[in-house]
Amino acid sequence: MIISGCIKNNRKAQELLYKKFFHAAAALCTRYIDEEQDAMEVVNDGFLKVFKHIHVYDSRRSTLYTWIRKIMINTAINFLQKKQIIFTGNPQFAQDEALTENDSLLKLDAEDLLNLIKRLPAATQLVFNLYTIEGFSHREIAGMLGISEGTSRWHLSDARKKLKQSVLQLKKST
């Protein structure tokens, strides 16, 4: 079994686990980290943490993918915090309305949408990804990032507003 092999520091088992989850981890990290080289650094740092702590993994609490995903997200957040992302905004004006799904948004393919998300300011992009893609609550995001729930809501609202503007600009240009 891969997990027991990894616990024993068996290099073949570690290689199998790495290969099995690399693409998912890389896709996740590139949603958070703009530079590909930095994203791969985060992936590799994340896998080092996986191998170091695999003995605490409990299959009754989560799947292996979910456990690795959480480690990768936390590693990406730590990387971004070292880059000193600034969480600005006015939480009093946070709006938690849904992004209106109009025809132009539905016509965007995943790559175009990902490119629009990557144009967001780093802090806003991080909150958007954690909330919308990863499914964390504002309370969880606030705890992870050391910000208030209101600031998390503001960044989500700001992301939605900016994405909506970007979609409208794309629609005008086509």
pLDDT, one tens digit per residue, over 97-134 is 444 444 444 456 677 778 888 889 888 999 999 999 88
Write down which residue in 82, 112, 129 finishes a domain. 82
Mean pLDDT of 136-158: 93
Q: How confident is the model at residue 90 (pLDDT cuts 50, 70, 90)?
A: low
Predicted pLDDT of residue 169: 82
Mean pLDDT of 11-16: 96
Write down which residue in 63, 82, 101 finishes a domain. 82
Same domain, yes or no: 67 and 11? yes
Distances (CA, A) of 49 to 59, 88, 98, 156, 161: 17, 30, 36, 29, 36
Same domain, yes or no: 34 and 75? yes
Predicted pLDDT of residue 82: 84
Write down which residue in 82, 100, 122 finishes a domain. 82
| Closest listed residue to residue 75, CA positions, set 138, 144, 165 | 144
- Tell me how many domains the chain contains: 2
What is the extent of the structural domain holding 133? 91-173
Same domain, yes or no: 77 and 101? no
Q: What length is written for the chain?
A: 174
CATH of the domain at 153: 1.10.10.10
Q: Tell me, rounded to whole angstroms, the distance of Cα 18 from its chain centroid.
A: 19
Q: How confident is the model at residue 166 (pLDDT cuts 50, 70, 90)?
A: confident
Predicted pLDDT of residue 86: 58
Q: Say how far apart CA 139 and CA 143 lie, in whole Å.
A: 6
Predicted pLDDT of residue 113: 78
* Whole-prediction pTM: 0.73
Quick check: 47 and 11 in contact, CB under 8 A?
no
Q: Is 53 exposed, middle or buried (0-12, 13-18, 19+ CB in 10 A)?
A: exposed
- pLDDT tens for each residue of 26-79: 999 998 888 899 999 999 999 999 999 999 999 999 999 999 999 999 999 999
Q: Say how far apart CA 133 and CA 131 lie, in whole Å.
A: 6
Predicted pLDDT of residue 98: 43
CATH of the domain at 13: 1.10.1740.10
Predicted pLDDT of residue 25: 96
Same domain, yes or no: 37 and 77? yes
Q: Say how far apart CA 130 and CA 72 lie, in whole Å.
A: 12
Q: How confident is the model at residue 96 (pLDDT cuts 50, 70, 90)?
A: very low
Same domain, yes or no: 78 and 106? no
